Structures are given as C-alpha cells and as structure tokens.
Amino acid sequence: MAIPVAVQGPSLAKPSAGTRGVTSPAGFFSQERTAERPAQQPGHVCPQNQTLSGHPNQVRGNEDCLSLNIYASHTAQNLPVMIWLHGGSFETGAGSDYDPSPLAREQHVIVVTINYRLGALGFLALPTLTQGGSAGNYGLLDQQLALQWVRDNIAAFGGDAHNITVFGESAGGMSICDQLVMPGAQGLFDKAIIESGPCTSAGVTVSRQEAFNQSAAAIKTLGCDPNDVACLRQLPAEKLALTRPPKSGTVPFAPLYGDPTLPQAPAQALTTAQALKVPLLIGSNLDEARVFAAFIVKPERDLNLWEYLGGSYLLNKGHLLASLFHYTAAAYGTRTLALAAASTDQAFACPTSDLARSRSHAVPVYAYEFRDRSVPVRASPTPGLPSLGAFHSVEIPFVLGTSNELVNLDAFTPQQLDLGRTMRAYWANFARTGDPNGAGLAVWNPLNADGSGVQELRPERIGPVTDFRSFHQCDAIWK
C-alpha cells in the first residue's frame, strides 16, 4: 500500500526513524526547529491567486509551504524515485493537489510531489532584491532544494537515491527544461519526463531585464516604489499573490534567464552541450488548446469573425496569412476549434517536437502524443466547442491513476483503463531504466532524427506515427 508522507517545514530536513515524520534542525526563516512533527497530512499549499479557479481576488495557502509528499511502499527498498512537478502557469497548484498512489502501488516506484513558491512570491525580480548576483527564480530554487532533499533522504523511505526521475506537466514540464540547463541542478536527477511543457515557446521564460520591467510594473500597482525595499517587505503575502504585471500573458511571472541561476534561455541552451545529458521522455496532447479556447468567449456561442481574426493576429502574428488559410471553420467545424488547433500547433505540438528532435542528437528521446478524444469529462459541450478532445492536462489521470476535477476515471471504458495501466508502465519503466519498453507493451522506439517515430497513445491504438509534424503543420507553417 502506498502512503503519503508529508515532509513539512521549509527546511525539508532529514526523516525521523520510526515515526516517518521529520526532524527539522533549521527553519527557512532562521528560527530553530528541533522537535519531531507529525507528517501524515500534506503541508500548506503556497499562497496563490484563485481567480483562474473561479474565485476572483481570493488567495489560498500559507507562506510556510515548502513541503513534499512521499508515496511509498512499507517494505520494498531501492525503488526508482519519480518526483512530480505540478503545473499551473507558475501561479497556481500544489503537490498535494495530485494523488499518485496508484502509480506508486502498481509500478513499485516511490513518487514524490513537491511545492514551490508561485507568482510574485516565487518569481518577482527586482535589482533591489538581488543577492549574490541573482534575482527571481525562487520557485525554481525551491525545486532544487526539494530535489536535493530527496537525493539525501529518500533511502529512508525505500527509494534509490541514484535513480531519480523528474516528471511534470505544463509549468512543471517547463520547470524541468529550466532545471536541465541550471548549474544548480547538476547531479540532482537522472532522467526527465516532460508532459505538455512547451518550454521553448515565447514568454515561458523572459530575459532578466524584461523580468525586472514586469516586476516593477506589478509592484507599482501595489503602491510601492520598486526601489523601496522596506515597502516591499511590508507588503502582505496575500497582496503579492494576487498581483500580476499590467500586461501579462499565460505566465504572469515567468522564470528569467541571463542570471547566475539560469544563465541562458532554455530554447538556446537545450541545443548545446551545456544541458544535462539525461534520457528524456517528452510529449503533448492532440488538442492541447481547446480547454483554453473554452474561456475566450461566452459558452453559448462560437467565436464571431472579428474575434477569430483578432485571436489569430495575437497568436500568430508572424504566420498570420498562412494560419488563416489553413485553420478555417470549414476545415475544423467551428471558428473556436480552428483557433484552438492553430494555438495547439504553434504553442505546444511544434515546440515540443522541435525540442525532442534537438535533444535526440545528444540523449535517448522517447516522444509521444496523447490522442484519446473520448475521455469522459465533467464539462458540457458548447456551440463553439462540441468536444474538448485530448486537451491540455487530460493525460494526467492516465499517468497518475486518479480522477481530478475535470476527468472522471469511474466513467472510463475498459479500453481507457487499459491505456492508463499501459502509460503508467511506460512511465515507470522509463524511470527504472531510461527505456519505457517492457514485457507485454507495444514497442516504443526512440525518436528518429527527422522527428518521426512519435508514439501514439489512444485506446484504439498504441504505436508509432510518422505524420506528427505534417499533421500539426510544423514545417509548413510553424518553422
């Protein structure tokens, strides 16, 4: 039976034998913490804006949030370790939002979920807050602290400290790209799995100066001069969690590069010998952007022509004419579906494929596309979106083995349940050996140099496809 062990306290200190709790010799805020504490429940989530969850101007969480949760067997030893980095645009989410116990139990692996600071509290970057030449990227440094803790202590929970795989989705996947090129992550993990983390897309990391500019603009909205450190430190955490730069995209406070913590943009660094040479499993979903398209207009109607043209311009400025010609309502059924398809290809599918091809010259790469368009969801169809299809994050219940707010495993068909077991086996085999293949599984070959050989994952078929780049217009439009 897998059990969660919440290693609480920002120090992430060594486990206490017998109680499976922790002993914390030094707290993050400098006060001494020497007593054992219960660790059977998850710790606090990090402060975060609840607007995207339907609760505008509300904050959940507590600053004492740097905890992790371990799902482990009672008796086994030297098990592969899988560390989950959650998504949420670097603004929302927590390790305790996910239950990977089926993955741990079925596949005999240790699974760890972690927290890291979010939003302004995790990524605010200002010259006045620079220490040791570094500014911002606190959330990424939190991830490294958790990775180091796992390296140092996971043997006490039955894990193999020399066989650690990081895996994550969306911002969690983007975080892995960052960690692959961060000097401080050297030696902290051995393999990586990136799910729907388009880490080379525009805006998911920003230059140091751009981060300074965005952070200064955000701080001014709170009534502080960005150079007034005393004012900054008096701001309540709740106000910081709610703030966004006046002009912000899907990642309001993005990690920055050009800094000692992340010297080079991942889009460039991942093509060089500087990136960590660890085996990579990477992929995306067939209809990533449909779930985002659901929020563009009122659900009772499709996009009108002007909304479609405006959205196309914002998304596809450099490829506008070609995208308008290809992504049409006639071809996709509705304007909303057409715009979602363009966004899927431009922001997710093609950047993922480009990165996979690039890394395949240096390390073994196994690429996939999740293509099940019939997943039962707790959402109603609309005129513009008759189906969410294989949308962003829909693969997570298949990988972890548990339902979430949008996907209901109780309504899965037997074939979908089988697909989930297969995906968990692939992911765990990769964590064990760097190769997802195993007895009883469809063969999954490494990616070819031309980007072909992507493994299709759907209930009706599991196997390689050669049309990924042509289907998503990667060479015709999104070069």
What is residue 419's predicted lDDT score, i.e. its pLDDT?
98
Per-residue pLDDT band at 31 (split at 50, 70, 90) = very low
- Are 165 and 190 within 8 A, CB to CB? yes
- Catalytic residue IDs: 170, 288, 392
Instruction: Give the C-alpha separation, 198 to 267, whole Å.
Output: 10
Domain assignment present for residue 365? The answer is yes
* pLDDT score recorded for residue 33: 53
Q: Is residue 335 part of a domain?
A: no
Calculate mean pLDDT across residues 438-456.
94
* Residue at 194: amino acid letter: I
Residue 169, pLDDT > 70, answer yes
The boundaries of the domain holding residue 123 are 3-10+38-287+350-369+414-471
Instruction: Give tens-digit pLDDT for 99-118.
Output: 999 999 999 999 999 999 99
Average pLDDT over residues 122-144: 93
- Cα 436 to Cα 429: distance, rounded to the nearest angstrom: 5
CA neighbours closer than 13 Å in the CB half-sphere of residue 243 = 24
Q: Is residue 237 in some structural domain?
A: yes
Cα four-point dihedral sign 112, 69, 195, 263: negative
Given a cut of 90, whether residue 288 has pLDDT beyond it is yes
Buried b (16+ CB within 10 A) or exposed e, 399-427: bbbbbbebbebeebeeebeebbbbbbbbb
HEC string of the chain equals CCEEEEECCCCCCCEECCCCEEECCCCCCCCCCCCEECCCCCCCCCCEECHHHCCCCCEECCCCCCCEEEEECCCCCCEEEEEEECCCCCCCCCHHHCCCHHHHHHHCCEEEEECCCCHHHHHCCCHHHCECCECCCHHHHHHHHHHHHHHHHHHHHCEEEEEEEEEEECHHHHHHHHHHHCHHHCCCCCEEEEECCCCCCCCCCEEHHHHHHHHHHHHHCCCCCCCCHHHHHHCCHHHHHHCCCCCCCCCCCCCEECECCECCCHHHHCCCCCCCCCCEEEEEECCCCHHHHCCCCCCCCCCCHHHHHHHHHHHCHHHHHHHHHHCCHHHHCCHHHHHHHHHHHHHHHHHHHHHHHHHCCCCCEEEEEECCCCCCECCCCCCCCCCCCCCCCCCHHHHHCCCCCCECHHHCCHHHHHHHHHHHHHHHHHHHHCCCCCCCCCCCCCCCCCCCCEEEEECCEEEEECCHHHHCCCCCCCC
- Cα distance between residue 114 and residue 398, in whole Å: 20
Report the percent of the chain where pLDDT is more than 70: 92
- Residue 300 covered by a domain: no
Q: Is residue 26 part of a domain?
A: no
Which of 52-66, 115-129, 265-279, 350-364 is the least confident region?
Answer: 52-66
The model's pLDDT over 395-412, given as tens digits with 9 standing for 90+, comes to 999 999 999 989 999 999
Q: What is the pLDDT of residues 45-89, one digit of tens each?
A: 999 988 766 677 889 999 999 999 999 876 788 999 999 999 999
Mean pLDDT of the chain: 89
Give per-residue pLDDT as tens, 298-310: 788 999 999 999 9
Rounded alpha-carbon distances, angstroms, from residue 354 to 47, 170, 360:
34, 17, 10
pLDDT of residue 346 exceeding 60, the answer is yes
> Residue 74: what pLDDT?
65
57: β partners: none
Whether residue 413 is predicted with pLDDT greater than 70 in this model: the reply is: yes
Does residue 29 surpass a pLDDT of 60?
A: no
Per-residue pLDDT band at 420 (split at 50, 70, 90): very high
Residue 165 above 90 pLDDT? yes
pLDDT for the residue 340: 96
Would you say residue 302 lies in a domain? no
pLDDT at 161 over 60: yes
pLDDT in tens, 217-256: 999 999 999 999 999 999 999 999 999 998 877 789 999 9
In a domain, 384, yes or no: no
pLDDT at 5: 42
Domain assignment present for residue 16? The answer is no
Predicted confidence at residue 34, as pLDDT, reads: 63
| Mean of pLDDT values over 156-164 | 96
Q: What's the domain count of the chain?
A: 1
Phi first, then psi: what are they for 161, rounded to 5°? -65, -10
pLDDT of residue 314: 87
Q: How many residues can be counted in the chain?
A: 479
- CA-nearest of 312, 298, 382, 299 to 342 is 312
- Looking at residue 223, which CATH number applies to its domain? 3.40.50.1820
Name which residue leads in pLDDT, 293 or 427: 427
Read off the pLDDT band of 8 (50, 70, 90): very low
Do the beta carbons of residue 97 and residue 406 sit within 8 Å?
no
Predicted local confidence at residue 55, as pLDDT: 72
